[in-house]
A and B are shown apart, each in its own frame.
Chain A
Amino acid sequence: MTSHIHERKTVSPYLTFVIVHAMLFGIDFLFLVIKPIQMAGQDAWTGVLLCSVGIHIVIVMMYSILNRHRTDLMHIHIRLFGQGIGMMLNMIFTVYFLFVSVYQVRLFIEVIQVWVFPELKTWSLALVLLLIAYYIISGGFRVIVGICMFSLINTLFFVTIFFMIPYFHFNNLLPAMSHSPHDIFGATKDLTTSYMGIETLLFCYPFIKTPEKSQKWAHWGVLSMTLIYVVEVIFTIITFKTEQLSDELWPGLTKYKFIQFPFVERFEFIGSSATILRLFPVICLSIWVSNRIMKFTFAIRQRKVLPFMLGLVFIATCLIPNRVGVDLVHSWIRQSGISVIFGYIPALFLFDISRTKVKKTK
């Protein structure tokens, strides 16, 4: 029961790097450093490294499962747990990915409402964003990955971090290693949110030409993002005091205030508008995944489910009224993300290994 994807619809293995990079460089990036730094202070960067090691192990596990079955997670579910439970697990993942996209859309609208248009109505922007998402997703996987690739120009904005060099206080980094392992592990756990998104690879797998070769690229993607996270964390530590940071909601956007060009006085308008490039890869891939699962489960055309799905996302987005609601959803997402990445995938891995061993001994 392997899913056959026409070769014209598949993408080259190196694009796994692009997918991972775009998924991990989401809007969360703009504020993910706050909590780890509050917990582990100047040692937060060790948390990033620890978390990255954990993610690499998870990727090894994921590819071990995928390579053994040579298909995507929804088929594996059915194969391992049978029709009933497998289907239920698939539906849980649909809901999970829908929630992720709802959260991302609402978060983006929050950014725009705080930084650019305070008066903007949630529904109007959500409507436009989801219409654009419809256009992208109906183009298929290749187009979505193309948008991921286009969003990589966002990395250019990361370079603007060097405008802050005059404001650096390197003393902030000292004393090094003064926090307890408990604090550092707390920071690590919190940072897992920033690595959320790699679980989409479980569903993209059959869409990659020679998918076995893509593992290397997934690791490279995580590695490059780790580098960016470490730089971001260190630069935040040496720019802000820890107390200052507790007043900040979006340190990733605040740093744009340091930037000045002869023409442009306030770069944060450009910077926060460009956040849209972080949004689309994440929501398009997430909605696409839940769409695929729906198609697989109920045997309906993706074209027909898609407007329905987007409608759900639209309604859910409009139902989150304010910052408090966003925070609440964020904490749900964080919990479920951590349990998927560090709970469910390792468990599935162990189950799969033991199952094959039992089969062999029989």
Chain B
Amino acid sequence: MFDIPKIWEEFRESSDFVYLRQSNHVDHYLICFLKSITDINVLNEQILDFISKNAGLLFDELFEELPIAEKELSSDWDEIRNKLLLGYVAIQQAPTAETILLNASSSKGRTVSKPEIEFNVEGSKEALVESLDINLNLIRKRLPVASLRIKELHVGDVSKSRVAICYIEDITNEQYIQTCLQRIGDIQFDTVTDITVIQQIMEDNSNSIFPQMLGTERTDRIVWGLTLGQVCIVVDGSPNAILGPVTFQHFFASYEDYYLPWLIGSIIRMIRFTSVMFSILASSVYVAVLTYHGHGISNAFLPTIIASRINVPFPPVVEVLIMELAIELLREAGARLPSKIGQTIGIVGGIVLGTAAVQASLTSNFLLIIVALSAMASFTTPVFRMSNTIRILRFPFILFAQLWGLLGIFMCSIIVVTHLLRLTSLGMPYLVPFYPLRLKSLTDTIIRPPYSKFHQRPGFYRTKNPARFDKRKSNLKNDIDE
């Protein structure tokens, strides 16, 4: 019998550290593990059972015969300590310096469930979960090709999060892969709890309100991006992945567009673009017109507006700001509360407050419609981070509209366009294929073209293999009456 070696001292303070003296009358072993992350069943039924039944084995023989797939023989203390923290079981025998490490880790987590943010009616109902292994399994299952590469890195001195970078070797441009690897390798932050942390640190311009990487929880979207030439980054512990490089229009393409017939998909996509424009501009145009350009409204329309605003004591900008803030408040309250109470808040806030505000002449009916419509329109953005951006973007527009009317709205749009022109995503211009104009890649932007027109990957990804399939074979049509 021997005392606990000094090397385990630092673990003894933790209550989930277990050290057993196990013996089978011939040999004596010291078995150490952290019970919080170790599968007790594996330990009992396979490891302890094997040891008690096989007396008289040499230490090396024991290592070779133990029926565990992942096992190691090590004498490096750092490695032993790190493995123990990952759920390995360490077995030592008194006189030898070597330690057997057996993987008996158990990870508890969610099972694969429905997508909750990027919800869809048609198409698969499978979303990423918090476990990296399950996520990689979901991705690889859909892409049974050898050229799908998964590079794993560890990020964060404290959290030591596993980060996986996935790409398809013979499609994705080498430059994007290297950029991703380098930027993730450079991350100094100590705790990475979610993919959004990595996203914010590695984005080209982290001061921008526009996301420069596309966050998604849908495996089909990830696979689509990978096959087009994007890089996908997954982190252990986050039910989201990010895709990059991306362009501005990607954020307005719901993945469901690809599941609908192309005409319907295109029309819905165009409606979405219009609604985003409406959402950004509607309330600021209201402020501009009512503050400065009142005589610009047509005579048929003027009485309606005057009648609805006649008792409102505030100038238009105050009225708009109150209403916009009220909507933001409703949204924020709805998001922070459990879903059942959230609905109640929606009813109380939306219907009761809205009607009461109009009856109390705090706001006009007309504005209420505009604000509610533009709030609704901003929710049509399929990517959550972009819909946040759209909501925030309204406020500078309202400010400029108050200062210089329609001219201010034009100014603000020039500023926003300049900002977008200056942005890049992993070095790729953000507004491509509109600027720089890439006519061939314009197909999948505002409209969603039919699959027969998808014979090429978008040129702006600069892929190693631009062709998706042979165009000549697919486009043959029979002549009339043949």
Contacts and interface: CB of A to CB of B under 8 A. Distances in A.
B320 interface: no
Contacts of B295: 265-266
B451 interface: no
Interface string B415-442: 1011101100000010100011100000
Interface in B261-297: 292-293, 295-297
Contacts of B298: 260-265
A261 B301 CA distance: 11
B348 interface: no
B436 A15 contact: yes
Contacts of A277: 410, 414
Chain B CB count within 10 A is highest, among A125, A128, A139, A150, for: A150
A147 B292 contact: no
B57 interface: no
Nearest to B293: A269
B415 A139 contact: no
A112 interface: yes
Contacts of A270: 296, 406
Interface string B391-414: 000000000000011110111001
Contact of B410 (A15, A142, A266, A273): A273
Interface string A8-27: 00011011000000000000
B7 interface: no
Contacts of A143: 418, 421-422
A147 B418 contact: yes
Contacts of B429: 142
Interface in A102-141: 112, 116-117, 125, 128-129, 132, 135-136, 139
Contact of A139 (B409, B418, B436): B418
Contacts of B1: none
B407 A273 contact: yes
Contacts of B410: 273-274, 276-277
Contacts of B293: 266, 269
A225 B409 CA distance: 27
Could you say which interface size class chain A belongs to? 20 to 34
B299 interface: yes
B146 interface: no
Given A11-B436, A15-B436, A263-B301, A269 B406 contact: yes
B352 interface: no
Contacts of A273: 405-407, 409-410
B300 interface: yes
A132 B411 contact: yes
Contacts of B411: 128-129, 132, 276
Could you say which interface size class chain B belongs to? 20 to 34
Contacts of A116: 292, 405-407
A147 B414 contact: yes
A257 to B, nearest CB: 12
B170 to A, nearest CB: 25
A160 to B, nearest CB: 15
Contacts of B422: 139, 143
B251 to A, nearest CB: 19
B296 A276 contact: no
Interface string A309-332: 000000000000000000000000
A12 B436 contact: yes
A146 interface: yes
A116 B405 CA distance: 9
A169 to B, nearest CB: 27
Nearest to B434: A149
Given A143-B421, A273-B406, A277-B410, A262 B300 contact: yes
A254 to B, nearest CB: 16
A280 B429 CA distance: 21
Contacts of B406: 116, 269-270, 273
Given A139-B422, A265-B296, A276-B411, A146 B405 contact: no
A162 B419 CA distance: 34
B405 A139 contact: no
Nearest to B302: A265
A150 B407 contact: no
Interface in A262-291: 262-266, 269-270, 273-274, 276-277, 280
A42 B411 CA distance: 38
A268 B300 CA distance: 18
A335 B293 CA distance: 38
A86 to B, nearest CB: 33
A117 B292 contact: yes
Contacts of B414: 132, 136, 147, 150, 276-277, 280
Contacts of A142: 421, 429
A12 B414 CA distance: 22
Contacts of A139: 418, 421-422
B296 A146 contact: no
A75 B114 CA distance: 64
Contacts of B418: 132, 135-136, 139, 143, 146-147
B296 A269 contact: yes
A135 B412 CA distance: 12
Given A116-B407, A269-B293, A132 B415 contact: yes
Contacts of A265: 295-299
Contacts of B435: 146, 149-150
A301 to B, nearest CB: 18
Given A143-B421, A147-B421, A276 B407 contact: yes
Nearest to A148: B435
A140 to B, nearest CB: 8
A217 B101 CA distance: 70
Nearest to A266: B296
A136 B404 CA distance: 20
A37 to B, nearest CB: 29
A274 B295 CA distance: 18
A262 B431 CA distance: 34
Contacts of A125: 404
Contact of B297 (A12, A263, A276): A263
A280 B414 CA distance: 9
Contact of B296 (A14, A264, A280): A264
Chain A CB count within 10 A is highest, among B299, B404, B415, for: B404
Contacts of A146: 417-418, 421, 431, 435
A280 B417 CA distance: 12
Nearest to A111: B407
B175 to A, nearest CB: 12
Contacts of B404: 117, 125, 128
Nearest to A270: B406
21 contacts: A116-B406, A117-B405, A125-B404, A135-B415, A135-B418, A139-B418, A139-B422, A143-B422, A146-B431, A149-B435, A149-B437, A150-B414, A261-B298, A262-B300, A263-B297, A264-B298, A266-B295, A270-B296, A270-B406, A273-B407, A280-B414
Interface of B: 292-293, 295-301, 404-407, 409-411, 414-415, 417-419, 421-422, 429, 431, 435-437
Given A135-B415, A273-B405, A276-B411, 6 more contacts: A117-B405, A142-B429, A263-B298, A264-B297, A265-B297, A265-B299
Task: State the 4 A-B residue pairs at the shortest beta-carbon distance, nearest first.
Answer: A146-B421, A273-B406, A273-B407, A265-B298
